[in-house]
Amino acid sequence: MKIGIVGKSNLQEAHAIARKLTKWLEKKDVEVYIERDLDDNNNHPNTVSRSVISKTVDIILVLGGDGTFIGMSRLACKYGVPILGINLGRLGFLTEIATDEIYQMMERILSGDYEVEDRHMLTAKVKTSSGKVRSYELLNDVVINKGALARIMDLAMYIDGAHVTTYRADGIILSTPTGSTAYSLSAGGPIVAPGLNLTIVTPICPHTLTNRPLVVSGDAKIDIKIISEEQDSYLTLDGQIGIKLKGGDTVSVQISDKTAKLIKSPFRDFYTILNMKLMWGEKRGKVS
């Protein structure tokens, strides 16, 4: 078996865990590949980039938080490589394994006793007014919003070619179920079970209060056209890739034919994490 280790390189804990875990795995005859930024002395024979890891190994271990996991998922999805998220802070929705569970989980993986869950991704295509098209795969969300000093935006939305509405808002979020607990939730969108095949449309501070979040079939193609001539507007993908937009540009979004393969935690499920992170289990004070 070949296992790759990547992580948040500015965390010393990630470096320490990578060193210890590499030695442990190699004693069990596992071929380990380490992200270059995690190899302190650059002396491991298989020190490579993330892009090389994603097309070389059988399983990828991500040391960090959900943001690190999301970035790795965009590379790994091209090759169908399963990812295990090991959280170095508070438990995340994607990095489900705590540091004290690492070796117990690795024993399961090496024995083949683990489950992989496919998470739907989105394909976003940006067509500029000049006709140029760029395409991206993402796990969480597509966000179109105005710059800090820009006026309210006009965004025309089409689903399968039919005009649905034109939003006057600060922006719009198109989210996967995985991304429903991220920016979309903060903007008033619903929490959605991660296995469902759908896209969530959440306007950001709409000028018309009747514009509410919308859940769209995963088979649908959603087109958002920038009507405003305001130059200061941006497309953000997974909160990590930024692209400047202009009036007349169109962003087309639909479910991707690729998936992120998440190795599930045997210790807790999505609803347990939801309960913990949203503190739904907290006791409330008595009502007098």
- Contact by Cβ (8 Å): 198, 216: yes
Token pair 């508070």 is found at: 90
Q: For 20-50, give one letter per residue: b (16+ CB within 10 A) or e.
A: ebbeebeeeebebbbbebbbeeeebebbbeb
Burial class (CB in 10 A: 0-12, 13-18, 19+), 155: buried
The rounded distance, in Å, linking the Cα atoms of 7 and 39 is: 11
Q: CA quadruple 264, 35, 67, 18: dihedral positive or negative? A: positive
Sequence-separated (6 or more) residues with CB below 8 Å from residue 191: 180, 181, 185, 274
Q: Are strands 141-146 and 133-138 parallel, antiparallel or unpaired?
A: unpaired
Catalytic residues: 66
- Contact by Cβ (8 Å): 126, 243: yes
SS3 56: coil
User: Within the chain, where are the H helices?
Assistant: 12-27, 50-54, 66-76, 102-111, 183-186, 270-277
What is the distance, to the nearest Å, from the Cα of residue 256 to the centroid of all Cα atoms in its chain? Answer: 13
